Amino acid sequence: MTENIRGIGINTGSVTPYGNSPKGSEAKPDETKPETTPGAPQNSQVKPDDVLNYMANSAVGVYPQATTRTYDISRYVTPEQAERIAGFVTSFEDQVAQGLLTLNELEEFDGLSEAAKYDIAAAMVK
């Protein structure tokens, strides 16, 4: 291995050593700023609750609620297809209700909320 640092291509002429103070007008300290100790807490200008409320509202898209629209299903599906889809939905609802009955009978799921039970029952449907 070689001891030649110039072979690496480092430009050591443009590097200023740490600790040199700037010259001229840059060397004057700003006297208008009050000095604070490094460990002293700064006075808060904003209430913490306002910050948390802002963060909560900005994380979730708050959009104006759209008006409920009704759709003319006959424009999109035939009556036979609408009946078949309604049968699938009814079958799904029956299977979820059956799953809820099963979950309510088991002692392991007594501590769960109803929403969690609905999620599990819906996931059980295949």
Greatest mean pLDDT among 17-21, 58-62, 68-72, 90-94? 90-94
Contact yes or no for 124/103 (Cβ under 8 A)? no
Beta carbons within 8 Å of 102's beta carbon, 6+ residues apart:
121
Give the residue, 62 or 1, on which the prediction is more confident: 62
pLDDT of 68 reads: 81
Amino acid at 101: L
Angle at the Cα of 35 (from 33 to 41), degrees rounded to 5?
115
Give the residue, 87 or 40, on which the prediction is more confident: 87
Amino acid at 18: Y
